[in-house]
Structure 1
Amino acid sequence: MPDAENTLLLVDDRPDNLFVLRMVLAEYLPDCRLITANSAEEGLTLAGRQRFDGALIDMQMSRMDGIEMCRRLKQEAGTAIIPVILMTAHHAPADLRARGLEAGADDFIERPIDNVELVARIRTMLRIKHAEDRLRAGNSELERQVAKQTAMFREYWKAVENSRDPFAIIDRGHRYSLVNDAWLKLYAIERTEVLGRPVAEVHGDEYFDAQIRLSLDSCLTGESVQYEQSFSRNGERPQQLQARLMPIAGEGGGIDGVVITLRDVTREREIERMKDEFISIAAHELNTPLAVIQGYAELLRDEPWTAPYKRTQRQEFLSLILEKCARLQKIVDDLLDLSRVDSGWMLVLHKSRWRVRDELDRQVWQFQRETLKHRFEVACDLSCGEVSADRGKIGQVIENLLGNAVKYSPRGGLIRVQAEVEGNVLRVTVADQGIGMTPEQAGRAFEKFYRADTLDTAIGGLGLGLAISRSIIEAHGGWIWLESEVGKGTRAHFTLPLMPAGTEVAIPNEMSDLKIAGEEKP
């Protein structure tokens, strides 16, 4: 390293010695900056104020000698890295040198000083000093990078550990190197049972050969692999897991291991299945009334002139056509309502004040006309009176609930409709004595595209009524939920807040979670 970058501290309590040193070093090391001190105390003060690349200190000074000054320099963090050459008397005793080394001296030179030797020792001292400086700088940068990478790893591992998706790293020997809590929870195993052990040993050779080996081997050649598998444990409901395997690149371009992440796609696949099923059902539901309309329209079109239909027959044909048109209109309206909710459109509720009993009686009267197997009973508290709500939309909800009560009690029986005030809300209940539902079916009844019975013999319908009803009730600030028991019937409840008229409320983007009996209720 060039001498111009070096600053030397010269310490001696004899001015003539300092003068000679300055003259010699100025001649042999002209680019070095030289700073002198006439005592050890002055030298310590200067060393504490600025950076020095080396120090030449006379060992035998009055008051504080060079050994003590060296010891103090080496005790302070800011000056400990200054290399020290102690200048000793001719043939200084060994114990004196030993004391100097114990104090931290890096080298010695005896008087009378040989100029060439002095310069050589100083240059050697500076070369070692700068090498140590580079090493310290490298260590400091390395420590900074290690700290940075450690912090990044901690953040990365925190994200991995807190992830709901199972995560594991497998080495080239098919052994577990790392797993997160979600992985341990999925397979119901402890971390100590996994780390460092072969995958086949942890899960069994049969599972390893059937599910993992081929994908691992492919990934260890550098390929990314993705597949799905069905997974179940202890008789639990099977999960559909999507596995993604990514190779871990090592030094030299090799593959050190494999990262595996598992994602539960059971819900996604179920939604896809329900959508496909919905399309099939919707096509059937649309085709049935269309076939009736087409059939009777063709009868009227092809009416024989020689034997025309009677007026009553024509009226019957037209009534059936209009009835099926109304059915088609209902299907289209349901689809449009669901589309509005899914796309986040704002549906304004046109509120007015109306009597609850009037709407319940009107809906029950319509259903009573269409069925002889069912008996209807309406019970309404005297305190119910009027509500402020969109009568058309609430009527649609009541119609959906009554329609389900009739459809799912095919043997008939009592259907009871009740309205009562509970605190600051109105609660309406539609109870039937039908086939009922399992807890799982009741828990999913409000989902879009969900139908509890998907067999060909199942009760018809698109299965959208409850999803639409929930969006309407929640737009009014109310709740809707079911209580059901297989073989004993279903009770559908909804609430409406008792609020002033004139308020317009918009349907939210996302429909909130279904409130089932036994969970949080209004």
Structure 2
Amino acid sequence: MFRIPFLRNLFILALVATCCLPLYTLYVLHPSYHRQLIHETEEESARFASYLVRSLGMEGVVLERDILPADTIEKVCLLQADNLLIKLRFFSPQGEILYSTLPEEIGQVNDKDYFRQVVAKGRIFSKVVSKNAPTADGQLTNIDVVETYVPFQVSGVFGGAIEVYYDITRRVYQTNLLTLRTTLALIGVAVVLMFAISLALRNAGRAMTERQQAEDALRRANEDLERRVAERTQELQEANTQLTGEITERAMAQVALTDALEETRAGREQLDGILRSVSDGLLVTDGELRIVHMNSAAEQMLGVPLEKALGQTLDTLPVSRQLIDALRPGGAALENQMIFDFQVDQASGEGNTVFQARVSALNDGEGLAPGAVLLIHDVTREREVERMKNAFLGMAAHELNTPLSVIIGYTELLSNQSAVATLSTEQVHESLSLVHTKAIALSRLVDDLLDVSRIESGQPLNLEFGSCCLNEVVLDVLKPYQGQGSGHSFELQCPDEPLSLEADCGRLEQVVENLISNAVKYSPHGGRLRVVLDGDDDSCWLTVADQGIGMTAEQLQRVFDRFYRADTSNTAAQGVGLGLSVTRHIVEAHGGEIGIDSRFGEGTRVMIKLPRGGHPG
């Protein structure tokens, strides 16, 4: 049996499991019995102390000298009829022994750490003392006992304690006896189980040995059969060699032809696969500008399948007339590899798509150009960005010029002594305040431009994390708007307790300023502007809702694009289309989330979620 690895390992596993059963009893069950004994004794001591306090009429009384009732000794003597009660002591809040069944202990003070740090704080203290071991007071005992200190409170203040010594010698003996019996029973079960496993493994080993012998006999017979077959096969192979030679020669010729065809087909498939995988459109024409090939990307861009366009001239496709003329014989496109832009109307009617065509000559082996290759790329997005940037430059120039004009005008006025002499002090302060306000607006615009520059260059935003109160940030931003008299009513809903979080307070103020200014800017007819703050242990939420012009679904998809403005027709609304883009990057740099819900003509609601712990990004 032990010569077979599988059976040997199975026997060792069974032996280990059998040995673990008694150890489980000694190291798991017996400690559990012991802990249960202590727990029951503690509960019995607590019930006994509570009964003693009620029977002596000491509920709500602080234990002091001369406070114990006169019949205390008599009632305690009656309780000592319980042979398990070894000793009973009453302690004052200062630890002085007011009463003890051992009179010589009266008057002593318990200044042990456990009394001051556990019992005096209202918690039960228990200690199991084994035979011939010291108690918590350092006294030796010749029996197994549990000493329990039971405190009681008077109006929430420590009023004293009762110490009870219980004899648990018999219980410990019964627990040890139960553990011994359990261990012996498990050992018996383990022995029987081990014997049964050994017998089963022995029978299994005998069966496996017999099976191995049968397999050996079968293998020898099979080897003999294979030897005979090999001899016969050798004879047949020698007879077949001549026939195989002739067939091989013919097969080699056929294989060579097949390989050549396969290489041609694989090359064509590889070329077709490359053309299909190219994301840009590829269109090939001959010298007469007839289409000889185009890939699937070009089919999708031009909206014409290859089967329909094959053999047709280039002017049947929606390409630029300037491009067609440049490709004709004598044109400059093939010599200079020119680049052309052209537009294709979308079948869905959603506008035009702008494509860029790069022209190259299709040369043959003699250096002639019997055709042209057009590489078509979708540049709609690039042209849209260029348009938005051009619009942005115009708006930025206007946004920079307006505050600069005000600053220059008022500073010229204030630098003129004779003009200043005609102004009152209040007018001078108003002028300086207006210059300061325009300078701040100009600074914010420059900050937005610098933030966009960092974002586009892949640099992170500069964040200085610290403790920040979101309530104060919102109130500071709302205060100037509430005094403008713009026809907007501001409603602020926030919890009483401050919403504190780890964040860059300056950047959060920039976020709130962008949201409030957008809400005011795109609510030209006034209306209610609602700001809601909320939070839990992990996050803070900020919601800004207005009753302004709102946005369409298409505008909502592009609201976070740089240089994009949802309502470009409203020329009175200031801004260059950077606010929400910068706001999203600031929120995400804090590990937060931003979402927008808007309905055209009804208003817009912006929701921001920020983690309280901060997320330096």
After TM superposition, the score normalised by the length of structure 1 is 0.64
**Pick aligned residue for 2:384 from 260, 264, 270:** 270
1:233 aligns with 2:349: no
Structure 2 match to 1:394: 508
Higher helix share: 2
1:302 aligns with 2:416: yes
2-structure distance, mates of 1:156, 1:72? 39
**Pick aligned residue for 2:300 from 185, 199, 210:** 185
Contact 1:226 1:242 (C-alpha < 8 Å) held by counterparts: yes
**Pick aligned residue for 2:482 from 349, 368, 371:** 368
Contact 2:499 2:540 (C-alpha < 8 Å) held by counterparts: no
Change beyond 3 A, Cα 1:166–1:73: closer
2-structure distance, mates of 1:396, 1:237? 36
Structure 2 match to 1:493: 607
Amino acid aligned to 1:215: A
Give the secondary-structure state (helix, strand or coil) at the position aligned to 1:428: strand
Change beyond 3 A, Cα 1:306–1:358: closer
Amino acid aligned to 2:321: A
1:216 aligns with 2:388: no
Change beyond 3 A, Cα 1:307–1:223: closer
Cα displacement (A) at 1:403: 0.5
Amino acid aligned to 1:163: V
Give the secondary-structure state (helix, strand or coil) at the position aligned to 2:289: coil
The C-alpha deviation readout for 1:51-74, integer Å capped at 9, x for no partner, is xxxxxxxxxxxx99xxx9865543
Cα displacement (A) at 1:331: 1.7
Contact 2:285 2:372 (C-alpha < 8 Å) held by counterparts: yes
2-structure distance, mates of 1:154, 1:268? 33
Structure 2 match to 1:74: 246
1-structure distance, mates of 2:367, 2:591? 60
Change beyond 3 A, Cα 1:350–1:75: same
2-structure distance, mates of 1:489, 1:385? 27
Q: Once superposed, what is the RMSD of the aligned Cα atoms?
A: 3.6
Give the secondary-structure state (helix, strand or coil) at the position aligned to 1:189: coil
Amino acid aligned to 1:278: F
Cα displacement (A) at 1:269: 1.4
Contact 1:378 1:416 (C-alpha < 8 Å) held by counterparts: yes
Change beyond 3 A, Cα 1:372–1:484: same
Give the secondary-structure state (helix, strand or coil) at the position aligned to 1:445: coil
1:162 aligns with 2:277: yes
Higher RCO structure (Cα 8 Å, ≥6 apart): 1
% identity of equivalent residues: 35
Structure 2 match to 1:253: 367
Change beyond 3 A, Cα 1:145–1:249: farther
* Unaligned 5+ runs, structure 2: 1-237
Greater Cα offset, 430-439 or 170-179 = 170-179
Contact 2:356 2:379 (C-alpha < 8 Å) held by counterparts: yes
Contact 2:519 2:548 (C-alpha < 8 Å) held by counterparts: yes
Contact 1:481 1:493 (C-alpha < 8 Å) held by counterparts: yes
**Pick aligned residue for 2:578 from 447, 456, 464:** 464
Amino acid aligned to 2:436: L
Change beyond 3 A, Cα 1:238–1:388: same
1:290 aligns with 2:404: yes
The C-alpha deviation readout for 1:306-348, integer Å capped at 9, x for no partner, is 9543323322322222222222222222222222222222334
2-structure distance, mates of 1:422, 1:159? 55
Cα displacement (A) at 1:227: 0.7
Regions of 4+ moved over 4 Å: 68-72, 142-146, 149-156, 219-223, 305-308, 381-384, 421-425
2-structure distance, mates of 1:476, 1:306? 47
Change beyond 3 A, Cα 1:144–1:351: farther
**Pick aligned residue for 2:529 from 415, 431, 435:** 415
1:431 aligns with 2:431: no
Number of corresponding residues? 379
Contact 1:243 1:260 (C-alpha < 8 Å) held by counterparts: yes
1-structure distance, mates of 2:611, 2:345? 44
Contact 1:220 1:258 (C-alpha < 8 Å) held by counterparts: no
Greater Cα offset, 264-273 or 344-353 = 344-353
2-structure distance, mates of 1:383, 1:297? 44
Give the secondary-structure state (helix, strand or coil) at the position aligned to 1:255: coil
Give the secondary-structure state (helix, strand or coil) at the position aligned to 2:517: helix
Change beyond 3 A, Cα 1:146–1:250: farther
1-structure distance, mates of 2:323, 2:380? 20
Cα displacement (A) at 1:470: 0.9
Cα displacement (A) at 1:471: 0.7
Change beyond 3 A, Cα 1:145–1:442: same
* Unaligned 5+ runs, structure 1: 1-62, 82-131, 507-522
The C-alpha deviation readout for 1:384-431, integer Å capped at 9, x for no partner, is 843332222122111100000001101111111123448964332211
Contact 1:222 1:255 (C-alpha < 8 Å) held by counterparts: no
2-structure distance, mates of 1:162, 1:384? 57
Structure 2 match to 1:444: 558
Cα displacement (A) at 1:463: 1.9
The C-alpha deviation readout for 1:342-395, integer Å capped at 9, x for no partner, is 222233433334443333333223321224411111223679843332222122
After TM superposition, the score normalised by the length of structure 2 is 0.55
2-structure distance, mates of 1:176, 1:240? 21
Highest CA radius of gyration, 1 or 2? 2
Change beyond 3 A, Cα 1:212–1:143: farther
2-structure distance, mates of 1:250, 1:372? 74
Greater Cα offset, 364-373 or 209-218 = 209-218
Q: How does 1:321-360 map to 2 (within 5 A)?
A: 321-360=435-474
2-structure distance, mates of 1:379, 1:308? 46
2-structure distance, mates of 1:285, 1:164? 40
Structure 1 match to 2:76: none
Amino acid aligned to 2:350: E
